[in-house]
Each structure stands twice: as structure tokens, then as C-alpha cells.
Structure 1
Amino acid sequence: MSARILLADDDSSLRFVLSQALGKEGYNVRATGNVATLAKWVREGEGDLVLSDVYMGDECVFDALPGMRQARPSLPFIVMSAQSTVATALSAAGAGAYDYVPKPFDLDVLMAAVKRALSGAPDAKTRAQTTKAQKEERLPLIGRSAAMQDVYRVMARVAGTDLTVLIEGESGTGKERVARAIHEHGRRAAHPFITVSLAGAAPAQIDQDLFGSSGAFARAQSGTLFLEDLDELPSEAQTRLAGLLHADDPNARPNVRIIAAAQRSLAALSRQGAFRQDLFYRLNVVAIRVPPLRDRLDDVDDLARAFLLRAKREGLPEKSIDNAAIERLKAHSFPGNVRELENLLRRAAALSPASVITAREIGEELGQAAREEVQTGEVTDDFESAVSRRLAGEFAAASPGLPQAGLYDRLLAEVERPLILQALSATRGNQIRAAAVLGINRNTLRKKIQTLGLQTGRGD
């Protein structure tokens, strides 16, 4: 069955021209010059796409567009206007239009927009995915991978208790969401959930923020206190916190459950002497390790679709994502974890002109994010993640093709140069010692120095 297009414009000549052009493309066209008639057709289920002018007589289609969108959420609207201003374009986007085409327009451009909009119409599989995503988006934690099932099992065992919980995981993995879910499914759910970050906190600040008359313990009375960034707590402040928690009179102790979180392993820091053992043992009653996104890639599909629904609920344009884009996401290492994925999809939802986000757009977003991190210096210390970002930028810049041949050798050269320079600097130019540090023989090092054109100090 040919796609049905509802055409609305009070210029009868333009309606005729567009009807003929659309008809030649095989579309069935129903035309009107009246906003009320258009709205009636939409409510009655007519049309697969609406192509409408902004103003028809004294009527503005933007006044009726929210109601039509509510009646037919998946029906794409393309808005045309001779008043081609930024304000008009923003009004179209704000009202939920799929696309905006300024008059006078190139007919080929308009037809391309029509084809894009119709190609994005959801099929039965897409509708099923959307229904699943709607259920997932309402959950405090999203994901059905084996790694997350382990997390859920521990959460289920401790939620109904008052045991202290230590949650560890990289930045952006969702540690606070885990803590909040434990609170909301436990006996203290009706009482406050208070979060305090301990990163860089001074001993005096610990007293005030936690134990003052209006401190966190007082505010979390009968509820849960979530202590973030424990691994960033300075040693003096660790001593003060351990003393305060230990010395607290059991009879006067605040009725508060403690859940703590750290990005690094507190057990390892404790063994290294960088974290107090007594404080670690006090907080590590039950441990939960939240896996990084790279270890739960099976969840990327559910997460991505749920985040797009969340973005729509927060006022961004409605978007779906195709399977090739999901696979492109799974190929990324996600040093920023779930938070990075959500921010990436929010940007794509806001900036993508199409209703379906494709692999090419994901590649462009990943490449842009990598370039911005390099420019601002906001890069992770994780070497593998830095290399992954560098490669993402390389492949994105070559989209839709592939990078120039020889990528392997180019990347190795980029790593080899600073590596050898660092080794030579650390050994003050002593090539014998530098070769030993690098694990290569001196002749190999000397050859590489010559090949790379490096300047060295002393030679032995």
C-alpha cells in the first residue's frame, strides 16, 4: 500500500504542484487549506505523514500540532514556512515536528525529507522494542546481562536489612543508582536518602558535613546516608571519620543506614597503606562491585533505547536507533561507562535531524567527543581507553569509508615515540638502562632512535 500524505497549505497553486510531484513518487495525497480539517483527519487516523505550512489564513499549525502529536505520537510532521527564521525553526522543533523546510524550497530537498520521514516509520519489531524500552526506562537499574544479575542478587539479599554496604565501580557505572535502589526497596524507603561526597574533604569539614546539628546524619535520620568517593578521602580525614564512627555511643547513634561508594578498590588501597584498615572493615560489611559497561555490552541495546525514551520524556525530540548503530556502540570501550552512553544519546537525540539514529551518526558523535576531550584535556588516565578514543576519532573522520591503509603501523609509531622518549628521559639518556626498562636490546633501541629521529643525551 502506498504511503498516504496529508498536505496542508492555503496556497491552492502550491497544493496542486506538490500533489502532482508527490503523486509521481507513488504517494497518495489528501490536501486541504485549513488547520481544523487537517487536525480532524489526523485524529481520524488518516495519513502516514503530514506536510503542512505554518500559517493558513488566521490559523497557525503550531497551535494544533501538540494535540495532533498527542493523538498520533508516531505520525511524522514536516513543517514548511516562508518565514524562515530561527524562531520558526525552533518553534517547529519545540512542537514536535520531524523536520522544518523553509520556503522557497528545492523540490528534491523536500522529497528527500519526505522519504527520510517515511523510512523512519516504526515497524512491528520497532514498536516491540519501544514497548520493552518503556518498561526498562522505569526501572532504577537497566540491564539483564549476567554481570548485572550478580549485582541484583546481592542487592536483593541486603535491601531488607540495615547492613552497611560498600559499592565499588568505575566512574559512571551507576553506583549511586545501586545505592538508591537498595534504599527504595528496603525498610527505610519512606525516609530520606542523603548523599555526601567525601572527595578531598578536610577533617573539620567531615565534622560539619556529617555530624553537625544540620549535618548529613541528622538529615538522614531513619533513612540512608550515601557516602561517595571514599577512595578520594585524605588520610587525616579518614582518621577523623573512623574515630567518629567508632566512638559514636551505640545508645545515641543516629538511626541511619550507611552505604558507601568508591571508584578504586579499598581493599587494595588498604593493603598499600593508602586507606585505613579499620575504616575499610567498618564499611565493607557487604560488598557490591558494579561492572564497567565494557563488561556488560549485552545491555547496550536496552540502555540505549531506554535513554532515548528518557530524553523524550525530558523534552528532547523523539528518536529511535537502528541495529547497526547499536553494534557501533558495542564496539566502543566506553571509558565513561553508562553515563557516557546516556550523554552521547542525549546529544544525538538533540542534534540528529532524522527520527532514526544510524551508525554513521554514532560514529560522528564518538569522534567529536574524542576530539573535545583532547582539546580540553579532560582525558582518562586509562591507557586502553585513551587509545580507543583515538581510534574512534580516526574511524569517525573517515566515515562513511575506512581509514587510510597502514593504521596499525601509524598507531604503533604514535605510541613508540613518546614511550622511548620517556624511557630516555627517566634514564637521563642512558641507552643501556633505557633498553633494559623497555625490555629490548640496545641495538634495537639505537635503530629506533635513528628511525624516529629522536634527540638523545648521553649514549651509554
Structure 2
Amino acid sequence: MTPPTVLIADDDRSIRTVLTQALGRSGYQVRSTSNAATLWRWVEDGEGDLVITDVVMPDENGLDLIPRIKRVRPDLRVVVMSAQSTLMTAVKAAQRGAFEYLPKPFDLKELLAVVGRALAAPLAEAPAGDALARDSDERLPLIGRSPAMQEIYRTIARLTTADLTVMINGESGTGKELVARALHDYGRRRGGSFVAINMAAIPRELIESELFGHERGAFTGATNRNQGRFEQANGGTLFLDEIGDMPPEAQTRLLRVLQEGEFTTVGGRQPIRANVRIIAATHRDLRAAIRQGQFREDLFYRLNVVPIRLPPLRERTEDIADLAGHFLERARADGLASKTLDQGGVDALRAYRWPGNVRELENLMRRLAALCPDEVIGAEAVRAELAEAEPPEPAEPASPSAGQEPLARAVERHIRQFLAAHRDGMAPSDIYDRVLAEVERPLIQMTLSATRGNQIKAAAMLGLNRNTLRKKIRDLEIPVVRGLS
């Protein structure tokens, strides 16, 4: 039996060589080219069982090639790889019919797994096209090239042709509403309204009326019939922010809507069809709330169809430079002075803990754009603004207990920062794992840096099994230089 043939198009010779060797060792036949024209000729001639293409090539954008491939060879699957690791790249790849999108750099094992799935998967209905894709990345809703953000981009891209309920979990300021808006803007309900409601900002006694509307005379002060958010979002998306703060009686009514697909207004009797997509978000641990009797378990499983976890900024510090630059550019567009960050300024930002997450970073950049007298913002200006903004820490004990090392004091400060970031009293329930990860991550990163990415040497230095080290690198999302080993 003839092995499948994989067609590769990438203008980087080293990538073509690595992929050709890896796929060849896995039993595939491979043909590679540096341009889109040759790839298109092979496709037209009926060659190949799978295409792997880069986005940026000298003669044509790989994303523009996908619809043409789908027209002449609808059964030929296309895998897109790109160093332009943005949400729009992932979305456009999905909308134009790509089987999968892989941001560079990627793990060869992951690519081989994708190739296997692509060749084995049954044919699916072709997507409607790229009508959702926008030609400009000028107003990207999400910024970041970290592995955690790449996975979020891929999840959003996969959901552009689905209408599933989504639960977004993340600390305050991580951008949960931005993710919800992206899911709406690039989804099947983009022609409808995006309606948001924050459960924590509405008095408990008014939540049912806000959600479902009320009839005239339903309660004191109800002088007119009022539409609720479900009616306002008809045909579109309803974003339920801070769903963990929804009172029990409203939870019960929401569950009934999700089960039966209809609702009645407060004081009304006529059922109204609920034609909305639900996206919920929370900063709370809902599983802990379920155990404490504060949240309905059946409602949780109705909402948690597709879970998305947004990482706090301290877990994706590699994105800080891009985010800061984006916020400075937005400040300039809003009429503030044009400013840039030097490397010292970026390093100072990365060293900070960011209890307010991306929202805090945006506010800082706007302050610096307005107040910093220098055109280039350095470390001193960044640290001065952070010192002004950060609440003072409680004083250290005058006589620390015997044996208390600097690391122990750092952990103590770390815990206080966690608590300060959750002033509503809902402290995180996984501080042990978080602190442990914060110690492990820089330790492993520095060791890999010292060994120039050699994982065998790094494992020996750390006293770890190589497989254990690989698992920690994956679990902690530590960026490494990947090769064939």
C-alpha cells in the first residue's frame, strides 16, 4: 500500500528540512517547495493527500490559497502554520477551511499527531467561507503570542462554526469580555446583538427582571412593560458576566431557560422563545461554590459546555511587551503623546506581579503616555509609576521566626498579593499549586537557559527524570527551542 503524500510549502529551508525528515521517518512521502505557485501546481495535478503550508510566502499568502484548494480538491485537507501568531490568523485559517492551525514554533510530536488526525478524519461539510475574516488586524480584540494565548485563539477559531455555550474563567482584568466578544464577532450569530450583563453589578432583587423583563404592574414601580436582556439579545449572544454572583432563585430560572429553550417575563404568562447563545464568565471557583451550596451543579454543567481559562498576566509575561506597545499605540490614537518602551522598561514591567492583570497594564500605559516627560519610557519611570499605584504591603515582623529564609518571606508576600487581588473576599483555592508553579517555572527556565535548551543536561542538573522535566515544561507552558529529539 502506497504511503500518504504530504505537500509542504514554506519559504524557510530549515523548516522544510526538519518537517521532511520528521514526516519521512514516520512513513510518509513528502514533497516540499518554497512558494505557493509550485504547491498550487501539485494540487491541480492531483498530487498529495495533505497540505502543510506557511502563511507568509514570497508569491502568495497561504491563507488566500486555501479557498482555491477547497474548490478544486474539497477532500484535500490543509494544515496552516504561521509565525504570525494572532487571533486573526487562527480565525481566518478556520474560516477558510483549514483542518488545523499551528503557531510557530510548534512541537514536532504535535504536528505528527495533527497529520495523523487529518489523514484519518472523515470529510466534514465545508465552511461557509471567509466572510467573517477582517482584512485588518488594526483592532485585534486579543493580544499575545504565549502558548496559553495560542490555545485560546485556536479554541475561538474552532468555535466560529459552532453555537455552543461557553464558560470563561479568569481573574478580574484578564479580558473575559474580550473573549466573549470575539466568540460573538467571529461566530454564526455575528449579525445579532451582543448583550452583556454583570451579575455582580445588579441588586439581587432586580436580576430576574433585568434578565427576563417584566410586565406592567408586575411589582411596585413597574409602570411599563420592559424587555429583559434575553429579548434584547434575540438572535445574538447574551454574555452573563460574573455568573458566580447570580442569586439562587435566578439560577433556577436560568436553568429552566437552558433546559426548555423558553422563558416568561416577571408577571407574565406567555412563554417567549429564547433564541440566544449563552456565554458565561466568572472569576470564582464554581466547583468550590457548588460544594458550599452557593451554585447549582446542574446549572454549572449546562453552562460549562466549552470551558476557556484565561491565564493571569503573571503567567504570560512574554506577552507584556506586545500588550504594552499596543496600549501605547491606542493612547497615541486617543490624542496622548507618542511614547515607546526601551528594554529596561519592558523588563521592569515583566518583573511586576500584576494583581490587576491586563486592565492594570493598560491603565499604567495610559498614565505613562500622559505623564512621562520622555519619549522613550525606561525602567525608572515604570518602577516609579508602579510604586505609586501599588498599595503598601503590611510591615514585615520586627523579629522573624528562627530559620525564616528570604524565599519564605517572598512566599508570604506572594500570598498577600493574591489576597489583595481578590478584595471581594473570594481568595483563590489553589494558592499552593500557584506558588509552587511560580518557584518551579523560573528555576526550570534558568536551567534550560544555562544548558542552551538541552533538556537532558537540564534534567541532570535539576535531579529530575527527563520525562518528568518534559511534563513540567508542558504543564507550566515554558517556551523552549524544540527540535527533533
TM-score normalised by the chain length of structure 1: 0.51
Q: Name the residue aligned to 1:241.
A: 254
Report what 1:218 is aligned to.
231
Contact 1:136 1:306 in 2 (8 A): no
**Is 1:262 matched up with 2:282?**
yes
Runs of 4+ in 1 over 3 A off after TM superposition: 200-204, 243-252, 407-416
Q: 1:267 to 1:413 in 2, by over 3 A?
A: closer
Matched, 1:331 2:344: no
2:386 maps to 1:361:
no
For the pair 1:172 / 2:185, whether they are aligned, the reply is no
Q: Which residue of 2 aligns with 1:54?
A: none
What is the correspondence of 1:428-443 to structure 2 with a 5 Å cutoff? none
Cα distance in 2 for residues equivalent to 1:185 and 1:247: 27
Instruction: After superposition, give the CA deviation of every residue in 1:307-331 in whole Å (9 maximum; x if it has no partner).
Output: 1001111111111110110011000
Cα gap change, 1:137 to 1:172, in 2 (>3 Å): farther
* CA spacing shift, 1:254–1:367, aligned 2, 3 Å: same
How far did residue 415 of structure 1 move?
A: 6.8
Q: 1:316 and 2:336 equivalent?
A: yes
Residues 240-269 of structure 1, C-alpha deviations (whole Å, 9 max, x = no match): 433444354499522111101000222332
Task: Please say if residues 196 and 227 of structure 1, whose CA atoms lie closer than 8 Å, have aligned partners that are also in contact.
Answer: yes
Letter in 1 for 2:180: A
| TM-score normalised by length of structure 2 | 0.48
User: Which residue does the alignment assign to 1:114?
Assistant: none
Q: Secondary structure at the match of 1:288?
A: strand
Structure 2 unaligned segments of length 5 or more: list them: 1-135, 214-225, 264-270, 397-403, 417-485
The 1:409–1:278 alpha-carbon spacing in structure 2 relative to 1, beyond 3 Å, is closer
Q: Which residue of 1 aligns with 2:318?
A: 298
User: For 1:312-357, what per-residue CA distance to the aligned partner results, in whole angstroms no more than 9, with x for missing partners?
Assistant: 1111111111011001100011011100111011101000011111
Give the direction of change, closer, same or farther, for the CA distance of 1:211–1:358 in structure 2 (3 Å limit): same
The answer as to whether partners of 1:202 and 1:234 remain within 8 angstroms in 2 is no
Evaluate the alpha carbon distance shift between residue 321 and residue 243 of structure 1 in structure 2; reply closer, same or farther with a 3 A threshold.
same
CA distance in 2, matches of 1:140, 1:356: 26
Instruction: For residue 150 of structure 1, report the CA deviation from its aligned partner.
Output: 1.2
Q: 1:242 to 1:294 in 2, by over 3 A?
A: same
Verify the 8 A CA contact 1:201 1:234 in the aligned structure 2: no
**Contact 2:208 / 2:250 at 8 angstroms: preserved in 1?**
no
Q: Does 1:199 align with 2:200?
A: yes
Alpha-carbon distance change, 257 to 274 in structure 1, aligned in 2, over 3 angstroms: same
- Cα distance change, pair 357–203 in 1 and its aligned pair in 2 (3 A): closer
Paired AA for residue 307 in structure 1: F
Q: What is the aligned partner in structure 2 of residue 142 from structure 1?
A: 143
Task: Summarize the Cα distance change of 1:269–1:282 in structure 2 as closer, same or farther, 3 Å threshold.
Answer: same
Deviation at 1:200, TM superposition (A): 6.2
Out of 217-226 and 245-254, give the one that drifted further.
Answer: 245-254
Aligned-partner Cα distance in 2 for 1:149–1:157: 12
Q: Shift of residue 234 of structure 1?
A: 2.8
CA contact (8 A) 1:172 1:338 kept: yes
Equivalence for 2:128:
none
Helix, strand or coil at the partner of 2:279:
strand
Match for residue 162 of structure 2?
161
Residue identity in the other structure for 2:230: F
Distance 1:314 1:276, change over 3 A: same
Q: In the alignment, which residue of structure 2 is the partner of 1:287?
A: 307
CA drift of 1:282 comes to: 1.3
Kept in 1: contact 2:194–2:237 (CA 8 A):
yes
Q: CA deviation at 1:160?
A: 2.1
| Partner residue, 1:82 | none
Q: CA deviation at 1:174?
A: 0.3
- Cα-to-partner distance string for 1:52-94 (whole Å, 9 max, x where unaligned): xxxxxxxxxxxxxxxxxxxxxxxxxxxxxxxxxxxxxxxxxxx
Q: Deviations over 1:96-128 (max 9, x none)?
A: xxxxxxxxxxxxxxxxxxxxxxxxxxxxxxxxx
Give distance in 2, aligned partners of 1:409 and 1:249.
58
TM superposition shift of 1:187: 1.5
Task: Give, in whole Å, the separation in 2 of the partners of 1:192 and 1:209.
Answer: 16
- Contact 1:136–1:302 (CA<8 Å) still a contact in 2? no
Give the stretch that moved more between structures: 337-346 or 157-166: 157-166
* 1:395-410 correspondence runs (5 A): none
Moved more, 149-158 or 299-308: 149-158
For residue 232 of structure 1, the aligned residue among 242, 245, 250 is 245
Q: CA deviation at 1:137?
A: 5.5
How many residues are matched? 253
> What is the identity percentage for the equivalent residue pairs of Structure 1 and Structure 2?
51
Alignment partners' CA distance in 2, 1:154 and 1:173: 17
Deviates more, 1:354-363 or 1:155-164: 155-164
Distance 1:409 1:255, change over 3 A: closer
CA distance in 2, matches of 1:260, 1:355: 41
> AA paired with 1:327?
D
Larger Rg: 1
Rate the CA distance shift 1:215–1:413 in 2: closer, same or farther, 3 A: closer
**What CA distance in whole angstroms lies between the structure 2 residues aligned with 1:413 and 1:168?**
27
Aligned-pair distance for 1:205?
1.7
CA RMSD of aligned residues (A): 3.0
- Deviation digits for residues 132-172 of structure 1, max 9, x if unmatched? xxx86521100010010111111111122111111000000
- Which residue identity is paired with 1:329? L
Return closer, same or farther for 1:209/1:317 CA change in 2, 3 Å cut-off.
same
Provide the residue aligned with 2:120 in structure 1.
none
User: Aligned partners of 2:407, 2:167: CA distance in 1, in Å?
Assistant: 43
Alignment match of 2:365 (pick from 345, 357, 371): 345
Alpha-carbon spacing, 1:315–1:183, altered in 2? closer, same or farther (3 Å): same
Task: Name the SS for the 1:186 alignment partner.
Answer: coil
**Residues 1:346 and 1:411: Cα distance change in structure 2 (over 3 Å):** farther
* Pair 1:198–1:166, CA change in 2 (3 A): same
What residue identity is the alignment partner of 2:277? R
**Equivalent residues of 1:200, 1:234 under 8 A apart:** no
Q: Is the 8 A contact 2:262 2:274 kept in 1?
A: no
Cα distance in 1, alignment partners of residues 137 and 321 from structure 2:
11
Q: CA deviation at 1:207?
A: 2.3
- Aligned in 2, Cα 1:293/1:275: closer, same or farther, shift over 3 Å? same
The C-alpha deviation readout for 1:12-53, integer Å capped at 9, x for no partner, is xxxxxxxxxxxxxxxxxxxxxxxxxxxxxxxxxxxxxxxxxx
